[in-house]
Structure 1
Amino acid sequence: MKAFALLLALTMGPTWAETWPEPDWPIDNAAFDWQSVDSYAFPERNAGERSGIRTDALLIIRDGRILHERYIAPTTADTAHLTWSVSKSVLATVLGVAQGEGRFQLQDPAARYYPPMQAHPDVRLADLLHWASGLDWQEDYEYAPLKSSVVAMLYTRGRNDMAAYTAARNTAEKPGQRFLYSSGDSNVLAGALRGMLDAGSYADYPWQALFTPLSIESAVWERDGAGNFVGSSYLYLSARDLARIGLLMQRDGRWQGRQLLPASWVAFNRTLFDQAAAMPGEANPGGHWWLNRPMPGSPTPWPDAPTDTYAALGHWGQALYIVPSQKLLIVRYADDRGASYSHNELLKRVLAALAGEGA
């Protein structure tokens, strides 16, 4: 028995030696100068002013330990904050568990699991995960609300069945050929997930598959009138709980001694969709995550961050950044209403602080 225990320890030792947030995140008390980071992320707010950088929460974690954490009222460490389009990457993570259970393959047609997509039989699940369904779509919010597909889907004509609203869109081009960011694609995926599961299990599946194994307790995920999760937009999580998903991804789908996500799924999430067009100032699309990898002939989106950096990003400044080469996670919640915030600038300042360079 002792020999077996020793063999098991030698086999599992590297996994057990890693720090995990059980029951909560441990704190690393190493002294870093966060003044430059905080001065950027938390400028003074004038009462009633809606412009500028408006950070609600900032959480910096390295190798499983919290290095820095700050909140602005009313947000606290326990607040389940609206993540907006960070929801899309979490949906992709839930789908990764389903894929590991053998429920689908990336090349499967979406219509196999979501019958309204029979009008678009050539759209594969991989196309939806690349935001490349080829469906006609307009993602603008504030700038073109009367022409916006996403506003209609979330708040008017499509709110009772968001996936069906998307599936009823016309085909604009051949699927898989061009990136076109679409919250509709994400909600078709949420509908397809339902078709992959046994009857009655859909409502609990994100918890069974992901949240409960990661000890996430703050999650609230809204559903539309048809009962499908609003996979594009309406997941709420505390910063510490979102960071748990970041740690799972940073460690290639492992959670303690369990391979919760296939490592191949994480690799897919982090693979550049090279049919996309570069988006200056933003990251480039992977499998429902955003990558700091440059397009051929284009600059690195965030030049002061390592190219292995990737992120889940949401409206008004929500972000989960993952830097595997630095074993680094950053969660930022915000209420930015303008275009003054820079992903690169925050990453640059955090990395400088970790390197001991100061302001």
Structure 2
Amino acid sequence: MSAIAFPVRFLLACLAAAVLAAGPAGAGEAWPGADWTRQPVVPGAALEAFEAYAFPPRDEAERSDAVVVIRDGVLVYERYAAPTTERTPHLVWSVSKSLLACLLGIAYGEGRFRLDDPAVRYYPALAAHPDLRLRHLLNWTSGLAWEEDYEYAPLRSSVVAMLYTRGHNDMARFVARHQADAMPGTRFSYSSGDSVLLAAALKGMLPAERYADYPWRALFEPLGITSAVWERDAAGTFIGASYAYLNARDLARVGLLMLRDGRWGERRLLPADWVAFNRSPVPGYQPRAAGLVPGGHWWLNLPLEGAPRPWPDAPADTFAALGHWGQALYVLPAEKLVIVRFADDRDPSYRHNDFLHLARAAFVSGEAR
């Protein structure tokens, strides 16, 4: 053995020993068990300012029912407004769409579909739309004629008709009967109908006896989520656009899963390329001034050509699941933050950027903003 070879081999052996001693990838990270590890943030002016914005008096226009903040896997803040408590499963409205994306990501990792598969393969009622791919539905680019209005224009709202009137018994079939007014993949148009079609397609990917408990077996139970309720329509299809309920601590577990790129402890629940797809802008999306950037059933804070970052006071890698009347699951990877907000906002005075600006000041140590 040469004089040079021995020290090289010795150094390699030391390096290997150090890697083994460090344990598997993710060792040393904080993960919740039955409950979260807690380390409350130190009170101060920044926290007071955050709370003044998040929990104004109840007679003002915006209010929060719950706020939970996780920093690097540790619960650092939570507050509730009655009647909501830490145990209350709260209706999360369109945050459900991002939960559905997680569920589909698990099915994707199990090899049950590919993004460019025709949706009709899994939901035959889409026979009139043979060029519609699962990718298009996940990007809200189905091209189906759809009016995503709510209580502000109920007579013309496709989603109100789907949820509450002529489409409510079989929501996916109601959506599938809509005409196309654009080629799939050519026009972004946010649509709860696209999400419901994905929930129906998931049913076609699974054995019939496994669909009803798939969200719990595949996603909720591995994450330790015990509060989840997800309603189905009369046809037995999950209402993938809305009508999931979780308590705030449990929804934060989904945020931690996404913060750590689909890992949960030593287990990979979501393939890395799936999470990358969730966090990639819709191809060809034309940004609007200060508008959110759509990804794969998540919302992104990325700057696009011709438009500023939607939330300029949050890092560019921030992404979120958002729902009606102020429901939000924010994920800030650069700062290892997950924030859940449940609310009942009945006017547009709440600002995501203001909330995140104050949250970073209160919960990102060593930073004053």
State the TM-score, normalized to the length of structure 2.
0.92
Determine the structure 2 residue equivalent to 1:35. Answer: 48
Determine the structure 2 residue equivalent to 1:150. Answer: 159
Q: Tell whether 2:59 aligns with 1:20.
A: no
What amino acid maps onto 2:279 in structure 1? Answer: R
Deviations 1:119-144 (CA, angstroms, capped at 9, x unpaired): 10111000000000000000011221
Secondary structure at the residue paired with 2:340?
A: strand
Give the distance between the partners of 2:174 and 2:284, measured in 1 at CA.
Answer: 26
Determine the structure 1 residue equivalent to 2:77. Answer: 68
Distance 1:52 1:9, change over 3 A: farther
Q: Unmatched 5+ residue regions in structure 2?
A: 1-16
Contact 2:89/2:246, CA 8 A, preserved across alignment: yes
Report the CA distance between 1:357 and its aligned residue. 5.6
Give the distance between the partners of 1:261 and 1:148, measured in 2 at CA.
Answer: 34
Match of 2:215 among 189, 206, 229: 206
Give the distance between the partners of 1:277 and 1:150, measured in 2 at CA.
Answer: 24
Match of 1:45 among 58, 79, 83: 58
Give the distance between the partners of 2:25 and 2:122, measured in 1 at CA.
Answer: 39
Give the distance between the partners of 2:86 and 2:221, measured in 1 at CA.
Answer: 19
Deviations 1:167-214 (CA, angstroms, capped at 9, x unpaired): 100101001011100000000000000000012110010111100101
Deviations 1:302-344 (CA, angstroms, capped at 9, x unpaired): 0010000000000000000001111100000000011001000
Give the distance between the partners of 1:232 and 1:287, measured in 2 at CA.
Answer: 14
What amino acid maps onto 1:94 in structure 2? Answer: L
Contact 2:143/2:182, CA 8 A, preserved across alignment: yes
What amino acid maps onto 1:23 in structure 2? Answer: A
Give the distance between the partners of 2:197 and 2:24, measured in 1 at CA.
Answer: 41
Query: What value does the CA root-mean-square deviation take over the aligned residues?
Result: 1.5
Distance 1:78 1:279, change over 3 A: farther
Deviations 1:259-293 (CA, angstroms, capped at 9, x unpaired): 11101100000001132232444421000000001
Determine the structure 2 residue equivalent to 1:3. Answer: none
Give the distance between the partners of 2:270 and 2:48, measured in 1 at CA.
Answer: 37
Give the distance between the partners of 2:76 and 2:52, measured in 1 at CA.
Answer: 17
Determine the structure 2 residue equivalent to 1:318. Answer: 327
Determine the structure 1 residue equivalent to 2:4. Answer: none
Q: Tell whether 2:346 aligns with 1:333.
A: no
Report the CA distance between 1:15 and its aligned residue. 1.6
Secondary structure at the residue paired with 2:210?
A: coil
Determine the structure 1 residue equivalent to 2:254. Answer: 245
Contact 1:57/1:333, CA 8 A, preserved across alignment: yes
Q: Unmatched 5+ residue regions in structure 1?
A: 1-5
Give the distance between the partners of 2:274 and 2:30, measured in 1 at CA.
Answer: 23
Give the distance between the partners of 2:251 and 2:324, measured in 1 at CA.
Answer: 16
Pairing 1:225-264 to 2, within 5 Å after superposition: 225-264=234-273
What amino acid maps onto 2:57 in structure 1? Answer: E
Of the two, which has the highest radius of gyration?
A: 2
Secondary structure at the residue paired with 1:319?
A: strand
Q: Tell whether 2:281 aligns with 1:268.
A: no
Give the distance between the partners of 2:291 and 2:347, measured in 1 at CA.
Answer: 15
Report the CA distance between 1:58 and its aligned residue. 0.5
Report the CA distance between 1:159 and its aligned residue. 0.4
Q: Tell whether 2:97 aligns with 1:88.
A: yes
Q: Tell whether 2:195 aligns with 1:217.
A: no
Distance 1:280 1:313, change over 3 A: farther
Stretch deviating more after TM superposition (125-134 or 347-356):
347-356
Give the distance between the partners of 1:342 and 1:355, measured in 2 at CA.
Answer: 23
Deviations 1:74-104 (CA, angstroms, capped at 9, x unpaired): 0001100000000000000000000000000
Distance 1:225 1:8, change over 3 A: farther
What amino acid maps onto 1:67 in structure 2? Answer: V
Secondary structure at the residue paired with 1:98?
A: helix
Contact 1:36/1:358, CA 8 A, preserved across alignment: no
Equivalences, count: 350
Stretch deviating more after TM superposition (194-203 or 25-34):
25-34
Deviations 1:215-252 (CA, angstroms, capped at 9, x unpaired): 10000000001000000010000000000011011101
Deviations 1:99-126 (CA, angstroms, capped at 9, x unpaired): 0000000000100000011110111000
Contact 2:287/2:306, CA 8 A, preserved across alignment: no
Give the distance between the partners of 1:43 and 1:356, measured in 2 at CA.
Answer: 26
Distance 1:32 1:105, change over 3 A: farther
Pairing 1:117-128 to 2, within 5 Å after superposition: 117-128=126-137
